[in-house]
Amino acid sequence: MFRKRTKLILAAVLLCFAAGMFSMSLLRIRDHTTAFTPRVWTSQPSTSVPMYPLHPIDETSEPIRSLHAVYVKINGQAGLFLLDTGASDTVVSARFARTLQIPDQEIQTLQVEGNIQADTVRAFKAQSLQIGDVLYTDFLVMVLELEHIQSWTHTDLDGILGGNVLNALPYRVDFARRTFTISEQIRIPPEQAIPIRLLSNHIHIDAAVNGRPIVFVLDTGASSTLLDKKQLDFLFPQGPPEAELAPGKVIDINQETLTDREKLILPNLQIGPITESQWPVTLQDINLLGQDFTARFVLVMDPRRSHMGLLLSE
């Protein structure tokens, strides 16, 4: 086993019961290397696979129904993976990694920083990851303990499908029909195209709140939209709307903790051609566009042309 000096930042996995919010955005990688970038092979012009919503345990967990997973094969082994544009890279659970029987000499140790108790995580080079007829080969996959997340979501999640795989080809996510499609033939109507920027495999979207510019990260692993509390003074020079304090539970890489979260109502939120009034957000330390906004549409992503679309379901 050898050591590689790659810095990772692991963000919080967050649930607010009273605020009705759950975020699965796990990680982004600093000093990202091509070792995490897969080669892509396609045998068909288009491939589609079914999506499966996560199941809530009780009524307070209802928002996790907006989170979806798909079955993929890693090194020929099938597993259920969360579809998460908020994660920069693909992760497997420690339990799933054991089923792959990776030889010790092929396990790498990566140095990390952030909200994780250890200062290293394990990784291995996946020979293949298959979604339908699309094959991704020869890239690093992280191994993390996900048991407490599996327990809370009441779902046998085997891993997280992150941006290094998702952004390799254009794709379409039809939440209403629960279908995930990968196709180089995907096109977005010009009048509905929303410019995006890919930074460390995260999708950055220019938006407007209260008529003022702001940038969100698209996160299909977050059930609700988050707003960076530090930007309130800029967005609302005359003073922000009154926020409500609500108890909640934070589930991160290490543990579950109870805490309070602030929630407020935005007078308006504009994403490309879409404008919403009286939109609820939870105050945090990052801007994430969550599934409360996105899952009402068909999400169409064209990373190569730096555009996305939020289309009405047919």
The answer for residues whose C-beta is within 8 angstroms of residue 265's C-beta and 6 or more apart is 241, 278, 279, 280, 281
Give the CA-trace dihedral at 179, 185, 186, 192, to 10 degrees.
-150
Please give the average per-residue pLDDT across 162-174, as a whole number: 96
What pLDDT is recorded for position 29?
Answer: 46
What pLDDT is recorded for position 183?
Answer: 96
Please give the average per-residue pLDDT across 77-91, as a whole number: 93
What pLDDT is recorded for position 3?
Answer: 41
Closest CA to 201 of 38, 28, 84, 67: 28
105 vs 208: which has the higher pLDDT = 208
Quick check: pTM over 0.75? yes
What pLDDT is recorded for position 96?
Answer: 96
Q: Judging by DSSP bridges, how do beta strands 194-199 and 244-251 pair with one another?
A: unpaired
Percent of the chain with pLDDT over 70: 79
199 vs 10: which has the higher pLDDT = 199
Is the model's pLDDT at 92 over the cut of 90? yes
Please give the average per-residue pLDDT across 159-178, as a whole number: 96
Q: Judging by DSSP bridges, how do beta strands 77-83 and 212-218 pair with one another?
A: unpaired
- Work out the pLDDT band at 119, boundaries 50, 70, 90: low
What pLDDT is recorded for position 12?
Answer: 37
Please state, as a whole number, how many other Cβ atoms lie within 10 Å of the Cβ of residue 273.
11
